[in-house]
Structure 1
Amino acid sequence: MGGMPHPFTPLDFQLVLLRRMADHNPGLVDDARRQLGVSAGEMREANKRWQAMLHAPGGRAAANRYRSFLGTPETTATRRIGDLTCESWLWPVTLWPTLRFEVLLSPTGAVWNEWLIRAPGTPSPTLRAIPDLTPWSCTVDEAATAFAPAHPLEGTAPTRWGLAFTAPDEQGVPREVAAEFTWGLLQRVSVRG
């Protein structure tokens, strides 16, 4: 039986993004999956294939892997992050038209980071208080900028990030907040005290 496996596609990759987010927001993920016209089984299968690619002996380097199924980046640019200069590759993501998937590459071509960011030229959301921090409403950079100074928290798994910051609640009372992000997109916040 086993014919040629079908190529991994941008749709498959979006399913991988969603699969990682399903732990926090299964309802949003189910809605997005239906919008893409795929079943939960197809999402699991895409994730299984992704994991196999990541762990395949002699597999493609991460940067080449992204180019192989996402194609040529929509945009490439040089970015400075602190003292480091890196190359940024951006691809559109159908599910989130105002976001781009960004891969940051070191001067040697190694992938430093891979996550969702706001598309260049697209306005950031207005983030003033905790009620503005709804799932999928903002990226890591946007939350860190809106509620500076923000401090990184250790992620609970690969592709997950955390931020700690102070933000006002509904009554304007400053609260300590821990925000969790998957693939750079806000998933949930917890208020400490």
Structure 2
Amino acid sequence: MRFGVREFELALMHRMRDLNPARVEDALAAMDATRAELRQAHAHWTRLIAAAPRGVRRFVTALGRPPSVSERPVGSLTCDVLRWPLPSWPGLEFEVLTGPGGEVWNEWFVRPGPARVPDFAGLIPWEYVVGDVAFPGATPDEGSAPHHWVVSFPYGTAAYRARFVYGLFQRLDPITG
């Protein structure tokens, strides 16, 4: 199996299915892809992570040379930031942050340019990233699985958790009790 952009998107969707299976099913239909392809792409990506090429090279192998490369200071270190647009998520970019020596420190979706802060009713899955959800009182946290994040925030008289996979908004859950 060749592993390119389509397969990479399917591998990402495999993890997104944890929190938003209906949206993934819609995306599979739009891509004319099957659940078997989704599983196969995830298995292939998992093998690539466990074997060579290591670090950022695996992303370049799958996605090609990144159209955007920059540096970002993180504390006393300078990290490389590589970004790729992906067809299934127009207006967003998949970002890989690497530390010294090319070790991957983070991989997730970001919005190029300024955040696009939605109103509460406008939180639509797959249209927002962690950096967009800057509601008053919002607190980010790690999620319950690899590549999952949570942003908790109050709204009105209730509290909510916005759940993300690879930094991409998947669903909103009320916080109870």
TM-score in same-fold range (> 0.5): yes
Measured against aligned partners, the alpha-carbon deviations of 1:40-93 in whole angstroms (never above 9, x if no partner) come to 11111111111122223xx22121111111110010011234554311100110
CA–CA separation in structure 2 for the residues paired with 1:64 and 1:149: 38
Match of 2:106 in 1: 113
Number of residue-to-residue matches in the alignment = 176
The one-letter code sitting in structure 1 at the alignment partner of 2:38 is: M
- Unpaired runs of 5+ in structure 1? 1-5
Match of 1:3 in 2: none
Give the superposition deviation at 1:25.
1.5
Question: 64, 89, 92: which is aligned to 2:82?
Answer: 89
The more displaced of 180-189 and 147-156 is 147-156
C-alpha contact 1:125 1:137 (8 A) present in aligned 2: no
Measured against aligned partners, the alpha-carbon deviations of 1:98-157 in whole angstroms (never above 9, x if no partner) come to 111100011221111000111x24x6434232x2223223101111xx214432323211
The TM-score, its normalising length taken from structure 1, stands at 0.83
Measured against aligned partners, the alpha-carbon deviations of 1:15-42 in whole angstroms (never above 9, x if no partner) come to 0111111122222111111221211111
- Unpaired runs of 5+ in structure 2? none
Q: % of aligned pairs identical?
A: 38
Structure 2 residue 145 is matched with structure 1 residue 151: no
Match of 2:19 in 1: 24
Structure 2 residue 148 is matched with structure 1 residue 160: yes
What is the RMSD of the two structures over their aligned residues, measured on CA atoms? 1.9
User: Is the alpha carbon distance of 1:124 and 1:180 closer, same or farther for their aligned partners in structure 2, counting shifts above 3 Å?
Assistant: same
CA–CA separation in structure 1 for the residues paired with 2:61 and 2:136: 37
Match of 2:67 in 1: 74
The TM-score, its normalising length taken from structure 2, stands at 0.89
User: Is the alpha carbon distance of 1:182 and 1:92 closer, same or farther for their aligned partners in structure 2, counting shifts above 3 Å?
Assistant: same
CA–CA separation in structure 1 for the residues paired with 2:19 and 2:122: 18
User: Is the alpha carbon distance of 1:82 and 1:189 closer, same or farther for their aligned partners in structure 2, counting shifts above 3 Å?
Assistant: farther
Secondary structure of the equivalent of 1:62? coil
Give the superposition deviation at 1:14.
0.2
CA–CA separation in structure 2 for the residues paired with 1:141 and 1:33: 26
Structure 2 residue 116 is matched with structure 1 residue 125: yes
User: Is the alpha carbon distance of 1:103 and 1:22 closer, same or farther for their aligned partners in structure 2, counting shifts above 3 Å?
Assistant: same
